A and B are shown apart, each in its own frame.
Chain A
Amino acid sequence: MSVEAKETVMGNKNEFEPLIVAFCCNWCSYAGADLAGTSRLSYPANVKIIRVPCSCRVNANFVLRAFQRGADGVVIAGCHPGDCHYSTGNYYTRRRFSLLTNFLEYVGIEQERFKVDWISAAEGNKFATVMNDVLEKVHRLGPNRKLRDARWKR
């Protein structure tokens, strides 16, 4: 590797690259992500998808843990209300994470870092938009230090 090439690599390393953790429901949002991929829509590679059986499988600890261990933003994506594979799961998600969204803001976590949205299997486009949107907002906010474990290293 030439010196210049090495420097650009180092330079890129110093630039802030947000890490987004996305909990996607197996039946809708994960398939939506798949569709976004097969349709060759571009969404950022910083989004790490964790597949969950249903959006209501996610509990608040998952979200807090993600922030603790390096996430700059967390997304929870599930089927639209009424479309849940298990009939009622996302109705519970809606109540639980409405409270958590407000609660995290109350303890001082920026609203933009935590996003819940409904993305169906047919909405590859929406998946890409939501992820790009979250990434852009988090990028603007800068690296997350709140809730972060002091021992965490990238």
Chain B
Amino acid sequence: MEKIGLKVRARAKEALENREVDEVMGWKKGEFWYDVYPVFITEANEADDLIWDAFCVNNLSKYLIQKQKENKKVGVFLKGCDSLGFNQLLKDNRIDRDQVVIYGLPCVGMVDPEKVKKEGLNKGLLEIKRSKDEITFVTKEGEKKILGRQFDYDKCLACRYPNPVVYDELLDTEIAREVSEMDRFKDVEAIEKMSITERFEYWSNQFSKCIRCNACRNICPACSCEKCVFDNVNAGVSSKASVDSEEQFFHITRAYHVAGRCVDCGECTRVCPAGIPLDQLNHKIMKDINELYGKYDAGVDVSQDAPLVTYKLDDADSFTEHGKGGK
């Protein structure tokens, strides 16, 4: 990854020097070993701050909405999952393709700091380096190498698009990873097997953890409404009262609003401070769409119609007896 990091910095510097772009978006190292945050740079000498390491998990594509309002040409580094989000924003007419230069970064997976902490490997840790699936833990005492994917985010283990699906330049060679489509929705199937009361209990417990921080909404490349229904105080859907029904309302609505547009990047689950498995909600809707209305992967192909804005005359449904889609 270090070699690619050099390329990232060189490319950003070059682009800014030649005024190919007005601004470059990338990642910068923070104070701690797991700390990486997005930066927007406008000067070529700032390009030295940019990094590419095992913690560059943040999706940069959503910041483009704000940047485009400033009428700037932006260069942006996108991983596979980020590029799906980019395509979705493009499809929702939230960004202008001509105003963006995409530097694609094939990604082997990102390291979950929580998993490192759980293994107790975070003591005295200075840095984590990664090359393919070999992770090097650098401490004061020395280096320790561990081979394997046990520290990857769950969402990275299930990643289906390690290579960007849209880019102008690819900064690394494409990665071949075997992905099994078989167990993509096994989390959903496990919940479907529960009884109705168990299911309600399971979800109420999950939803009641919600602190309504709206992080899942803000990170989501499909949740890009200028004014969200939950920001409209007069709509009466968000009185911030601490009652279960409001949390249930929020989560059902959130998942339903991204139906057919969710690119399955898993960011909502990652950022949730309460640890609510939001992806299990999104997966259910995706699974239903695939079963009822044909296979559809949001963000992969911009020219394909999203399932909820189109129809067929002989569609199946899940509510009439002859609808074939019922349970």
Q: Interface residues, chain A, CB within 8 Å of chain B?
A: 60-61, 64-65, 68, 81-82, 88, 91-92, 94-111, 115-118, 146-151
Contact = CB atoms under 8 A, between A and B. Distances in A.
Of B191, B229, B241, B244, the most chain A CB neighbours within 10 A belong to B244
B320 A118 contact: yes
Contacts of A109: 196, 200
B313 A82 contact: yes
A100 B192 contact: no
Contacts of B312: 91
Interface stretch (B12-20, B91-99, B131-139, B285-293): B285-293
21 contacts: A61-B253, A65-B237, A82-B313, A91-B312, A91-B315, A94-B315, A95-B311, A95-B315, A101-B318, A103-B255, A106-B284, A107-B203, A107-B281, A108-B204, A110-B196, A116-B317, A116-B319, A147-B245, A147-B248, A149-B245, A150-B245
Q: Which among A91, A92, A101 has the highest number of chain B CB atoms within 10 Å?
A: A101
Interface residues of B, number: 48
Q: At the interface, is chain B mostly helix, strand, loop or mixed? A: helix
Nearest to A96: B308
Given A95-B307, A106-B192, A109-B200, A60 B318 contact: no
B275 to A, nearest CB: 18
5 shortest interchain CB distances as A-B pairs:
A108-B200, A91-B311, A108-B199, A98-B318, A116-B319
Contacts of B237: 61, 65
Contacts of B284: 102-103, 106
Contacts of A99: 256, 259, 285, 288-289, 292, 308, 318
Contacts of B123: none
Interface in B112-139: none
A94 B308 CA distance: 10
A82 to B, nearest CB: 7
B225 interface: no
Contacts of B229: 61
Nearest to B207: A107
B316 A98 contact: yes
A150 B246 CA distance: 10
A103 B252 contact: yes
A109 B202 CA distance: 12
A101 B319 CA distance: 7
B197 A108 contact: yes
Contacts of B273: none
